[in-house]
Amino acid sequence: VREDLSQPQQTSVATLTIVYDHHTRGLSDKLNNVQHDHGHEIVSSLHVHLDHHNCLEVIVLRGKKAQIQALGDRIAGFKGVKHATLALTTDGKGLR
Ligand code: NI
């Protein structure tokens, strides 16, 4: 997997986990819009309402590693996103 991920053009699969406050003005719209705009890279997402303020979202991404990382960084940088972690793996084709 490490070998696969050393190539920026390699197809990778990743989960982006974010925790955010849905009361932050405009954030829910922004998250929704970016996921619609990147529908070809975003495979699925799971949303958990943690408490009155906080939401957890796990977004599954697939695409070129560099693009996936850039998209992850962009979402992580949205105002109101408290924590973001991107876990990269491969599509498994190069693995036995
Ligand atoms: Ni929620």
Residues less than 5 Å from ion ligand 1, measured at CB: 49, 55
Answer yes or no: is pLDDT of 8 > 80. Answer: no
Answer yes or no: is pLDDT of 10 > 90. Answer: no
Distance 43 CA to ligand 1 centre (A): 19
Q: Using CB atoms within 10 A of its CB, is residue 27 exposed (0-12), middle (13-18) or buried (19+)?
A: middle
pLDDT of residue 6: 83
pLDDT in tens, 26-83: 999 999 999 999 999 999 999 999 999 999 999 999 999 999 999 999 999 999 999 9
Query: For residues 70 and 34, what is the distance between their CA atoms, to the nearest angstrom?
Result: 12
Phi then psi for residue 51, to 5 deg, are: -155, -165
